[in-house]
Structure 1
Amino acid sequence: MENKEWQTKWTERLSYGMSDAADNLVFQVMTTYLLYFYTDVYGLSAGDVAVLFIVARVADVLESILIGFMIDHTHSRFGKSRPFFLWFALPYVVFAILTFVTPAFSEQGKLIWAYITYLGLGFFYTAVNSPITSVLPTMTQNERELTLLGVIRQFCGSSVQIIVGVFTLPLVAFFGHGNKQQGFLFTIILFGIISFILILNTFFHIRERFTMPEIAHQPIREVTQMLKRNHPWIVISIVIFLFWLVTAIKNQTTIYYFKYTLNAKDLVPLANAFMFSSLFGVLLIMRLTTFWHKKQTMFVGMLIALGGQIILALGVYSKLLPVLFGGIFVNSLGHGIIVGLVSIMIADTIRYGMSLGIQAEGILAATDDFGVNLGLGIGGLITGGLFHLSGYLPNQAQNTQTLQMINLNYVWIPLGLYLLMMIVLSFYSEETIQSRTRSVK
């Protein structure tokens, strides 16, 4: 029977949620501005950056599996997931700062530096992010409490996503005084220090309470067999990949659209401010899941995101800013519902795996970072690759083909991906999870 008692207090809940805020301070800068930083500030070609992104994401996919394996084979007095916050917080912040250092190397030297720092950042991001998901089902056995913890996590993460979107470029201008290299570096140092403090706070205040020692450290062969049978995990893994693919493509293209199509780069912070509606989406989850299952709630989020993308398309082609900003608002509302449910549904697949006789929260939680990394990598490849093929030249007026590619990335590819996400989600069987996990304590 499910435990109806609530096991966490508000200090622990908020500390858990702030772990995602900590990671997002760096992660959202990387997702939204790193392509722009590499091409327009650091001076790398769009083609080189596209290759870097796909190489980094392939490495990160492998690293997600490695970190998941490490979590599942960790024996410590702090638990399996929790010590990763302590071990990897400092290296994560150090590599975040190094990624935005701009040494005066040759063109080849700059590219090598970008590979070393960005690949290192990807590894340590996975090391501090995977435990956020893997630790969740060990904190409580109460399903509503799991949902609350997931909502708090995503509310904190989405809040920071908005803060980064709105304040990064103004901070770059404030710290740089016209020197974008200096501006980006000082901004990431500020974000990195805050991130380090918040990650350590999570380590000190959360607890792993519920594990099943007899099935907690299984051989990789047994874990692999469980993964093949865990169909809900396979489906949600594909959904996560598609979500981060569309997020990467849209976020990376935003600054190019406003800079080169509208000739209004200063409007980027204002446009990103309309993403605050994602917070409403996250908060709606607790209400919506009282009368809908999580799958149905996520499907509603996808419908809202699709509707917002259609409104955004109308704004793009009419060049009416109120319509464009309205599309961003509606789309972000749907995004909040989708992403807020991700870690909660992964926790369900972890519990489902336990009902199959394997507690492998590390490997199963790696889905989140696996999907993030693969989605960002392919998204970066698509965006940077299409720009390169269209003849993109940084800090110059773009040709007609490049402007068309910007619209393709900002409008049409996301529309297709939202539809594909909805089709994939239809194969998720929540009833199967519920029928089996009722017996898992």
Structure 2
Amino acid sequence: MKATTWATRWPERISYGLSDAADNLIFQMMTTYLLFFYTDVYGLAPSDAAILFMVARVADVAESFIIGVMIDHTHSRFGKSRPFFLWYSLPYVIFAVLTFVTPSFSYSGKLAWAYVTYLGLGFLYTAVNLPITSILPTMSQNSRELTLLGVIRQFFGSSIQIVVAVFTLPLVALFGHGNQQQGFLGTILLFGVISLLLIINTFVHVRERFANPEIAHQPVKAVLSMLRHNQPWIVISIVIFLYWLAIAIKNQTTIYYFKYTVGNINLVPLANGFTLASLLGVLLILRLTDIRSKKTTMLQGILVALVGQLVIAIGVYTKTMPILFGGVFVNSIGNGIMIGLVSIMIADTIRYGVSLGIQAEGILASTDDFGVNLGLGLGGLITAGLFHLSGYVANHPQNAETLSMINLNYVWLPLVIYGFMYLILKLYDEDRILKAIQGRN
């Protein structure tokens, strides 16, 4: 088959994109509101929430690798990645709902419940999310088609992230009638049912087409040996981790910033509404990668995000909301470019791995969930840990040190991380990938 042949049609492309929408209905609740839920609704101390997040993310790092190995050693009539959508979608949704249940236990009992449900949710999220990335390079051999599929995926994923960010608190108010425990539970039930239907739809419509049976089920030892020589994979793995570290710190702090620093929690949906601009960044990928490399496009996305973060800083310290919202808008465009390219560039590193004699899309794709989990875990630990050290007290006016910590998390830490991302991505050897892929074709 020629590399210019397009293998997919629009129903399959849309269904593939909706898989990320399905996962993000729940995932965005976790990243943006779960820390707030645990401290201000469920009643956990920030220090306990911080430890929970770190333990969960350490577990998820191991789970990402385990799920990757499971994919690479799966033999079924549906393929290697596709059956995971069917097998794990219902358990994923069940644990998502249980995570937001607030049982009338003692404090230690409530903490134990949080550990069991959140750790279970983390494993199951990996089981339904990692296959979205691992299946991509098996759907087509056309680089432009893979870019299109990656953009469609991220467009739907980012759209749902915005929907959750904007509408969660209004839905909590609608379902709870003043009771946030009831409101959060009703909201996650709604999101869970929709998520389940979308994941099953993905299983029904997507197909794995391109696999090399001779190298598709290699021993883990051989795969790990190949990874040491896959320099682009190592670099993009670090970039993914840094991206999610910045996102975790900033997103989890947003609600605290508007509740305690600005004094108006009702501005959270409005501020999150400006993240709609991330969709512009995602759509720009198709145009930008037509005229420049993916690496250059992502570097430009990082710079746009960094500039937006600087504008946010100006808005925060001048207490000017229009400037702050403008910064969120610009920052989101850059974030959209970056996150939209992640799965596409991982697919390239998987194809590069094939040129090295190993088809291990499961393990190589696990870098995405690995980076997400490690970034979110460390981000949650940093956010909750700094709040604890500064003397944070839930649902009370905060002292000056805590307000300073909120600004540090909302403005400066993400800014520094963007700088590190730019420097690391400069090391990405895209020419090596292109020569290897072209050599195979």
Q: TM-score range by the shorter chain?
A: over 0.9
Does the alignment pair 1:53 with 2:53? Answer: yes
Cα-to-partner distance string for 1:65-108 (whole Å, 9 max, x where unaligned): 00000000000000000000000000000000000000010010
Residue matched to 2:91 = 91
Residue matched to 1:69 = 69
Structure 2 CA distance, aligned partners of 1:338 and 1:415? 15
Cα-to-partner distance string for 1:158-190 (whole Å, 9 max, x where unaligned): 000000010000000000000000000000000
Structure 1 position 439, deviation (Å): 2.9
Structure 1 CA distance, aligned partners of 2:315 and 2:420? 23
Cα-to-partner distance string for 1:404-431 (whole Å, 9 max, x where unaligned): 0000000110110000000000000000
Aligned letter for 1:147? T
Cα-to-partner distance string for 1:172-212 (whole Å, 9 max, x where unaligned): 00000000000000000000000000000000000000000
Does the alignment pair 1:424 with 2:421? Answer: no
Structure 1 position 2, deviation (Å): 5.7
Q: Is the partner of 1:207 in helix, strand or coil?
A: coil
Structure 1 position 440, deviation (Å): 3.0
Aligned letter for 2:386? L
Structure 1 position 11, deviation (Å): 0.1
Structure 2 CA distance, aligned partners of 1:322 and 1:224? 49
Verify the 8 A CA contact 1:2 1:438 in the aligned structure 2.
Answer: no
Residue matched to 2:379 = 379
Structure 2 CA distance, aligned partners of 1:126 and 1:154? 17
Residue matched to 2:167 = 167
Residue matched to 2:303 = 303
Residue matched to 2:354 = 354
Structure 1 position 438, deviation (Å): 1.2
Structure 1 position 437, deviation (Å): 1.0
Residue matched to 2:233 = 233
Cα-to-partner distance string for 1:292-331 (whole Å, 9 max, x where unaligned): 1000000000000000000000000001000000000000
Aligned letter for 2:333? L
Does the alignment pair 1:134 with 2:134? Answer: yes
Verify the 8 A CA contact 1:154 1:282 in the aligned structure 2.
Answer: yes
In the TM superposition, 1:279-358 aligns within 5 A as 279-358=279-358
Verify the 8 A CA contact 1:288 1:297 in the aligned structure 2.
Answer: yes
Cα-to-partner distance string for 1:236-264 (whole Å, 9 max, x where unaligned): 00000000000000000000000000001
Residue matched to 2:22 = 22
In the TM superposition, 1:185-334 aligns within 5 A as 185-334=185-334
Structure 2 CA distance, aligned partners of 1:281 and 1:2? 30
Q: Is the partner of 1:76 in helix, strand or coil?
A: coil
Verify the 8 A CA contact 1:302 1:334 in the aligned structure 2.
Answer: yes
Structure 1 CA distance, aligned partners of 2:417 and 2:409? 11
TM-score (norm 1): 1.00
Verify the 8 A CA contact 1:141 1:210 in the aligned structure 2.
Answer: yes
Structure 2 CA distance, aligned partners of 1:440 and 1:416? 40
Structure 2 CA distance, aligned partners of 1:154 and 1:371? 17
Structure 2 CA distance, aligned partners of 1:414 and 1:124? 28
Does the alignment pair 1:144 with 2:144? Answer: yes
Structure 1 CA distance, aligned partners of 2:241 and 2:61? 11
Q: Is the partner of 2:290 in helix, strand or coil?
A: coil
Residue matched to 2:404 = 404
Number of equivalent positions: 441
Structure 2 CA distance, aligned partners of 1:433 and 1:141? 14
Structure 2 CA distance, aligned partners of 1:302 and 1:84? 33
